[in-house]
Amino acid sequence: MSTRTVGLVAALTITTSIIAACGAAPKTDTAASGSGGSKAATATSAQDLGGLDKLVEAAKKEGQLNVIALPPDWANYGELISAFTAKYGIKINSDNPDGSSQDEINAVKTLKGQDRAPDVLDLGSAFALSGAQEGLFAPYKVQSWDKIPDGQKDANGAWYYDYGGYISIGCDAKRVKECPQSFADLLKPEYKGKVALNGDPTKAGAAFAGVYAASLANQGSFDDIQPGIDFFKKMKENGNFTPVEATPATVEKGETPITIDWDYLQASYAKEFSSKGVDWKVAIPGDGKYANFYSQAVSKYAPHPAAARLWQEFLYSAEGQNLWLKGYARPVLLPAMQQDGTADAALVAQLPKVDGDPTFPTPEQVDKAKQVLASGWGAAVAG
């Protein structure tokens, strides 16, 4: 688990389930230093380079790809990285795997012009939106672009949804006598010192989503995240909320026996820890049902611009999408893949089941929620 990103908006339907760095800044804004240079750096599609085969050729010539904030146990990224390298022979340099979306944005800015700058980004959608507004991304449309619903991508190709899930409550059933099933349950005295978030909600999207979900569970709305902040303040005051950041290590050690996080991460816990004596149970709370996506983007200053674009093509191929699905995440192309028969049915069947249709906040609502959270979270959980 990692402190990752923060969410945006859209609607999607899935047949089986529904969901929805340090360094000096350079003196120049030159986008790319890798082989293929300016031509790859300005390519808005594979066709701009002469087709996918030419893109592969240019990417192999560059020979490397820099990624950031991609934990190997997050949505099956470890296997995605290995599969890409095995397929194309391109070395992937993975920096700050436990970083947040804000860390990714900071790296784009501070490492601009350096060979170790990130080529590609996997961001919470609010960060994708703000990064695009700052002009940090290079527009690029993958070959499967038309299969991504209009509401789930920037019209110019600056960012596009990749995978998503629901906020859920995970619980070590061997350490907790009765696992909570709702946000209301989390206030019970027997959970003193046991409830944790995956990071700081002002920086990490999983934690931000957890507070948003708590708001929905406490008479809040997409227009009003304050009840979620108040809920965590109450949990802090009664001793249930712990500021310890939930990670695989804290879960395995029993330091965070109850966590609020994305369902695909919790589901992977259940599988990963079953052989280690951890009986991890996952519940999607009916009183605070919140779903959202993360987003992909190519850095405008990518030192390996061709490899960056090939990485996107790989992720949005049936192979890449099924590898996300293998990690219990719901890939954005899943509805289209189910229609054309390229989705792995066995992997679809393993997804955590959710009843009802998801709803999503607008970008404006997310921006407002971030502002309220930034100004009120510290005081709410201080001490």
Cβ atoms of residues 293 and 161 within 8 Å: yes
- 3-state SS assignment for residue 131: helix
Report which of 147, 171, 154 is spatially closest to residue 44, judged by C-alpha positions. 154
Two structure tokens written together for 153: 């991508």
**Could you tell me the pTM of the whole model?**
0.81
| Contact predicate 282/263, CB 8 Å | yes
Structure confidence by residue, pLDDT tens digits, 3-60 = 443 333 333 322 223 222 233 333 333 444 444 467 999 999 999 999 999 999 999 9
Backbone angles phi, psi at 197, to 5 degrees: -105, 165
Interval 325-358: pLDDT, tens: 999 999 999 999 999 999 999 999 988 888 877 7
Query: What amino acid is encoded at 22 in this protein?
Result: C
Residue 315, C-beta contacts closer than 8 angstroms, at least 6 positions apart = 80, 142, 162, 296, 321, 324
- Please give the domain boundaries of the chain with CATH numbers for all domains: 37-163+292-349 (3.40.190.10), 165-291 (3.40.190.10)
Which residues pair with residue 203 across a beta bridge? none
Helix (H, G, I), strand (E, B) or coil at 21: coil
Give the number of other Cβ atoms within 10 Å of residue 25's Cβ. Answer: 11
Q: Which of 333, 328, 323, 325 is nearest to 264 (CA)?
A: 328
